[in-house]
């Protein structure tokens, strides 16, 4: 546990010192919409893809005459879901969302999201990560 926290802190420090701070308006297009799903526990990557496809089937490829993209941010299952249950308890009781999966979801989102308009759809534990992702980016310059 201590090694994981130390690893995350080192990644954050490296990120802060070596990455230029760029606002969303410089990175993401104002044209277009993105919907990202985040799965819950005990969902493999095929299940997350299935959920994404089911959601995408409910929408047209455009919204307000702008392109609409539906994709997913994968929340992997650990130790047959037991480790995830421990994480959920931490997320519920002490609002702790600083684990490795959150770092991976944030990195994945930074690669996949190319629009300034984003809707996060979380299922089960994915709701905790959706809220944490929102909290992580809402105060950044260019995200208003």
pTM value > 0.95:
no
**In whole angstroms, how far apart are CA 77 and each of 25, 38, 39?**
34, 12, 10
Tell me what pLDDT residue 128 has.
Answer: 80
114 CB-near residues (< 8 Å, 6+ apart) = 27, 28, 29, 32, 34, 69
Tell me what pLDDT residue 81 has.
Answer: 58
Tell me what pLDDT residue 94 has.
Answer: 61
List strand residue ranges (DSSP E) for the chain, in order.
Answer: 29-38, 62-63, 66-73, 115-122
User: Tokens 């299922």 correspond to what residue?
Assistant: 123
Per-residue pLDDT of the chain (144 residues; tens, 9 = 90+): 666 665 565 656 555 544 444 444 456 788 999 999 998 888 899 999 999 999 999 999 999 999 999 999 988 876 665 566 566 556 656 665 566 778 888 999 999 999 999 999 998 888 888 988 888 887 766 555
Tell me what pLDDT residue 103 has.
Answer: 85
């Amino acid at each position: 546990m201590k090694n994981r926290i130390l690893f995350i802190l080192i990644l954050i420090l490296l990120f802060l010192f070596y990455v230029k701070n760029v606002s969303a308006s410089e990175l993401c297009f104002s044209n277009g919409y993105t919907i990202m799903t985040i799965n819950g526990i005990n969902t493999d990557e095929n299940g997350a893809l299935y959920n994404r496809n089911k959601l995408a089937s409910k929408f047209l490829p455009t919204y307000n005459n702008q392109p609409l993209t539906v994709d997913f941010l994968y929340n992997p299952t650990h130790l047959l879901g037991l480790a995830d249950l421990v994480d959920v308890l931490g997320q519920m009781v002490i609002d702790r969302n600083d684990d490795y999966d959150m770092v991976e979801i944030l990195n994945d989102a930074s690669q996949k999201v190319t629009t300034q308009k984003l809707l996060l759809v979380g299922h089960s534990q994915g709701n905790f990560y959706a809220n944490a992702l929102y909290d992580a980016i809402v105060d950044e310059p260019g995200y208003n």
